[in-house]
């Protein structure tokens, strides 16, 4: 196992700076996920850790040793890619053991490690088959097996599940988490799927344009996003953002638009300025008219069985509420909604930065 430190790490592709000075400390045994939109630099950063991409600036340390110039094969890292190529003419066992064979490991030792990995991944009955005789998820596990048998200091995964169907993805996600609980090997896992990023990680890193937007425990990022970007990126369905104008009502600040009204303590804005209010779909609670923060008109209903997503209109703005499926609603209905004060977020409309604004105890308009 190993700790990994990234210090002001930079990557230039010609004149384009893909990674813009990243500081990150990964503890021994941690499971870290990199998540962010396409092109934000996730793969580049991972490949820099692997040694597959030259480092343009800054320092990369593994176990406090600078490894900037160390060859990939000397870093004791195993990487699993999205497009894992298995050798079609070799059996599953030969595929898994191939890397060890290339390192001239003793055949009985290889055999032993392959069996062990196959047990962990529950593919022992498939060891004699060829890759062409396997399902996508089984092939994926063979690719993981190749990484496991190496027993490296660090695992790097780059979207390893993105070729699988939804159900297999969820199954494999559980497998990967179980594997980490068992082996406790330091792991970095790249994904653009925020659910995967949240559920797997001890520590989540949200990237955008080659920079870290926020990092921390998944739940703390979810509860306290540092910006509108992070608030909307983490959580599904995504956070509702309602734009409201600051009105001056009897020395109290009121944020409002046509169908929304909220009293807040001093928000540092003058009447006429706007603020963005963020509330997650799961934090909207149906209530009576007197308690309502938001008056919404139901537009589309999406029943999922476990809950129902109500896509509503608040004035001209769209909003999603995650509701109990037993609620009898139909399109066109008026829905009164409230939220607990600690579940309401505020963002600056220009910078998108989180604003710390206090709400009075009584939040009803």
Site for ligand ATP, rule CB under 6 A: 13, 16, 18, 36, 38-44, 192
> CB of residue 172 vs ligand ATP: minimum separation in angstroms?
19
Least distance (Å) from Mg ion to the CB of residue 79? 13
Round the CA-based radius of gyration of the chain to a whole number and report it.
Answer: 25
CB of 38 or CB of 362, closer to ligand ATP = 38
Taking the C-alpha atoms of residue 37 and residue 84, their distance in angstroms, rounded to an integer, is 22
**Number of residues near Mg ion (by CB under 5 A):** 1
Nearer to ligand ATP, 157 or 347 (CB): 157
Q: Give the nearer residue to Mg ion in terms of CB position, either 43 or 227.
A: 43
Count CB-CB contacts under 10 A for residue 200: 22
Verify binding: residue 140, Mg ion, rule CB under 5 A. no
Least distance CB 192 / Mg ion (angstroms): 8
Find which of ligand ATP, Mg ion, none residue 130 binds, CB within 5 to 8 Å per kind.
none
Site for Mg ion in 66-95 (CB under 5 A): none
- Of these, 43, 240, 253, 320, which contacts Mg ion (CB under 5 A)? 43
Q: Where are the beta strands (DSSP E) in 14-130?
A: 16-26, 31-35, 57-62, 65-66, 77-80
Q: Is 44 in the site for Mg ion (CB under 5 A)?
A: no
Give percent helix, percent strand, percent coil of the chain, each to the nearest 5.
30, 35, 35
Burial class (CB in 10 A: 0-12, 13-18, 19+), 309: middle
Candidate ranges 37-45, 273-281, 288-296, 300-308; the one touching Mg ion (CB under 5 A): 37-45
214 binds Mg ion (CB under 5 A): no
Please name the residues in contact with 2: beta carbons below 8 A apart, sequence gap of 6 or more: 28, 62, 63, 76, 153, 154, 186
Nearer to ligand ATP, 187 or 253 (CB): 187
Q: Which is nearer to ligand ATP, 193 or 256 (CB)?
A: 193
**How far is residue 191's CA from residue 274's CA, in Å, rounded to a whole number?**
34
In the list Mg ion, ligand ATP, none, the entry touching 41 (Cβ below 5 to 8 angstroms by class) is ligand ATP
Q: Closest distance between ligand ATP and the C-beta of residue 169, in Å? A: 16
In the bound complex, what is the minimum distance in angstroms from residue 123's beta carbon to Mg ion? 27
Which span (36-44, 89-97, 208-216, 257-265) binds Mg ion, by CB under 5 A?
A: 36-44
Per the omega criterion (within 30 degrees of 0), is the bond before 61 cis?
Answer: no
Helix/strand/coil for 148: helix
Residue 304: Cβ within 10 Å count: 9
Minimum distance of ligand ATP from residue 333's CB (angstroms) = 39
Closest Cα partner for 253 from 261, 324, 67, 350?
261
CB 11 within 8 A of CB 19: yes
Closer residue to ligand ATP (CB): 12 or 122: 12
Interacting residues with Mg ion (CB under 5 A): 43
């Amino acid at each position: 196992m190993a700790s990994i430190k990234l210090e002001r790490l930079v990557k230039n592709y010609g004149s384009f700076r893909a990674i813009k000075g990243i500081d990150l400390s990964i503890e021994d045994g941690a499971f870290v996920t990199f998540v962010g939109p396409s092109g934000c630099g996730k793969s580049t950063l991972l490949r820099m850790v692997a040694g597959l991409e030259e480092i343009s600036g800054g320092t990369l340390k593994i176990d406090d040793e600078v490894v900037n110039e160390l060859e990939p094969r000397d870093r004791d890292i195993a990487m699993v890619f999205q497009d894992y190529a298995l050798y079609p003419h070799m059996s599953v066992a030969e595929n898994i053991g191939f890397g060890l064979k290339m390192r001239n490991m003793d055949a009985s030792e290889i055999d032993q490690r392959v069996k062990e990995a196959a047990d962990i991944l529950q593919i022992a009955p498939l060891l004699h088959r060829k890759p062409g005789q396997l399902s996508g998820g089984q092939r994926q596990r063979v690719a993981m097996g190749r990484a496991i048998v190496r027993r490296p200091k660090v695992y790097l995964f780059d979207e390893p599940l993105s070729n699988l169907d939804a159900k297999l993805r969820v199954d494999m996600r559980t497998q990967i988490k179980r594997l980490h609980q068992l082996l406790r090997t330091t792991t970095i896992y790249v994904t653009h799927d925020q659910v995967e990023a949240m559920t797997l990680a001890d520590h989540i890193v949200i990237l955008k344009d080659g920079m870290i937007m926020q990092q921390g425990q998944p739940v703390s990022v979810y509860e306290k996003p540092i910006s509108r970007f992070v608030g909307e990126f983490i959580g599904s369905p995504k956070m509702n953002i309602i734009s409201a104008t600051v009105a001056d009502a009897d020395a109290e600040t009121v944020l409002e638009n046509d169908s929304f009204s909220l009293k807040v303590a001093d928000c540092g804005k003058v009447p006429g300025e706007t603020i963005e209010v963020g509330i997650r779909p799961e934090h909207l609670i149906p209530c009576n008219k007197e308690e309502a923060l938001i008056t919404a008109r139901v537009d589309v209903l999406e029943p999922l069985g476990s809950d129902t997503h109500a896509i509503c209109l608040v004035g001209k703005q769209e909003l999603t509420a995650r509701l109990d499926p037993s609620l009898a609603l139909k399109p066109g209905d008026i829905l009164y909604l409230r939220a607990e004060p600690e579940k309401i977020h505020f963002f600056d409309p220009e910078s998108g930065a989180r604003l710390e604004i206090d709400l009075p105890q009584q939040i009803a308009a």
